Amino acid sequence: MDSMASIDARGQMVLRKELRERTGMKAGDQLAVVTWERDGRVCCISLMKLDELDDMVRQRLGPMMSSALASGKGGRGK
């Protein structure tokens, strides 16, 4: 376990200073929330900085999109 977080009465989560410093998180950063379910209940929650998620998606999809567009198989967005 890397760290603990607490949730207050308003549902706001507090991440410890050490974790924020290690991850480079600062006030105003946006986080993507990803959940996994097991037996119909959420068992795990992951947080990822939104700008890093965007970079990862572009790295994964970029080569596929370039290949599709180069071969003429790319569709037009509507």
CB 15 within 8 A of CB 5: yes
Using CA atoms, how far apart are residues 56 and 76, in angstroms rounded to an integer?
A: 23
pLDDT digits (tens, 9 = 90+) for 7-59: 999 999 999 999 999 999 999 999 999 999 999 999 999 888 888 888 888 88
Decide: 62 and 68 in contact? Cβ < 8 Å: no
What does pTM read for this prediction? 0.59
Q: How far apart are CA 14 and CA 6, in angstroms?
A: 5
Residue 14: how many other CB atoms lie within 10 Å: 11
